[in-house]
Amino acid sequence: MKELDTLPPDLRHLCHDQPPTLAHDGGGNLTQGVDPLPIIDLQNLNHDKNKLDEACKDWGLFRLVNHGIPPTLLTQLHDQAKQVFSLSFESKKDSFDGSIVNHFWGTPALTSSGIGVTSDHQKTNLFEAFHVPLSQLSQFQPQHPQIESFRVLLVEYGKHLSRIATTLFEAMVKILDLNLEPSKSYLSTDTGYVRVYRYPHCTNPDIGLGMEVHTDSSFLTILNQQDSVSGLEVLRDNQWLTINPISNTLIVNVGDLMQALSDDRYNSVVHRVKVNMQKERISIGYFVFSDDGVEIKSSKYKPFTYDQFREQVQQDVKAFGTKIGLARFKHAQDN
């Protein structure tokens, strides 16, 4: 099947249907490399406490090793995601339309019912994705055997993500010495969802971004780039730094809820995804939030719930084409 037939029609005119060229690096190298990111060992968190604290303050992200997810699961998940994306657009539509898994593209902001939030001011983000609410995955019963295999892997993967997110969050709360109400689920794994992204390669250098510049609204985001193709970049000292994919490691970043809860001690990192001119890229992100009605309280921000935050993000995306985020909730004197 031609690659173009697998893409959502809205994206087809943006990508050129040409064989990938290896003439130059189109905004992402194909090599696996080393980067200066802080490395945190999940099996050794007690020992790495200060490192974790520094990483969240200074970088807003780190590379996680010894996370306990079997390498075979990561590889299978990646391979299966690639295969699902390479089904025809029509067959993906038939399998996902009306299900709890949203198949979407072009905009990262979705309403709670999974509808893409768009705006006249917004540029298209060059990705296709599946939005998978993990706690509802048992209600998804795809007929297509490849999609069913993918679902089974996601269930397994989701258990690891919940474990990792809870462990990291508890460690952060302890380090920050936060006095949270014990009866409330601040980080609630029931809210966790996975987004499986495909960034098609694109030979048009003027196309823009795979994903626009943003911060994540989550408490924590856990990104799996079990791929040799880079694309993710973070803003550090006013420069974009490529976060290289390294097999069997995960990238964890602090999101807006964590920045607010930490009273700005931790930093929700600004990032974007560049389009690769040579190769398609697959990445899998996990995002986790607080339970309905739980207020994030801190001295620098007006109390807000995640629902209120998301509502505001959607209004801003519709009105201005972009998320404004935490600045909307900051007390006036801190703006």
* 253 versus 290: smaller Cβ distance to ligand AKG: 253
Q: DSSP states of 101-120 as a string?
A: SEEEEE-S-B-TTSPBP--T
For ligand AKG, the binding residues in 106-125 under the rule CB under 6 A are 108
Q: How far is the CB of 197 from ligand AKG (least distance, A)?
A: 5
For ligand AKG, the binding residues in 149-208 under the rule CB under 6 A are 195, 197
Q: How far is the CB of 182 from ligand AKG (least distance, A)?
A: 30
Q: How far is the CB of 85 from ligand AKG (least distance, A)?
A: 13
* 78 versus 271: smaller Cβ distance to ligand AKG: 271
* 26 versus 285: smaller Cβ distance to ligand AKG: 285
What amino acid occupies position 248? N
226 binds ligand AKG (CB under 6 A): no
- Backbone dihedral angles phi then psi of residue 321, each to the nearest 5 degrees: 80, 5
Residue tagged active-site, from 198, 265, 281, 328 = 281
Count CB neighbours of 100 within 10 A. Answer: 15
Nearest to 23 by CA among 205, 151, 146: 205
Tokens of 13: 């005119």
232 binds ligand AKG (CB under 6 A): yes
SS3 assignment for 193-250: EEEEEEECCCCCCCCCEEEEEECCCCCEEEEECCCCCCCEEEEECCEEEECCCCCCCE
Is residue 198 flagged as an active site residue?
A: no
Q: How far is the CB of 217 from ligand AKG (least distance, A)?
A: 9
Angstrom distance (rounded) from CA 271 to CA 65: 21
Q: Given candidates 271, 274, 279, 323, which one binds ligand AKG under the rule CB under 6 A? A: 271
What amino acid occupies position 136? Q
Q: Given candidates 172, 211, 258, 296, which one binds ligand AKG under the rule CB under 6 A? A: 211
Half-sphere exposure of 152 (CA within 13 A, CB side): 9
* 8 versus 53: smaller Cβ distance to ligand AKG: 8
Q: How far is the CB of 15 from ligand AKG (least distance, A)?
A: 17
For ligand AKG, the binding residues in 272-311 under the rule CB under 6 A are 273, 283, 285
Dihedral sign for Cα 152, 157, 160, 165, please: negative
Angstrom distance (rounded) from CA 155 to CA 253: 22
Q: Which residues bind ligand AKG (CB under 6 A)?
A: 108, 195, 197, 211, 216, 223, 231-232, 271, 273, 283, 285
Catalytically annotated residues: 281
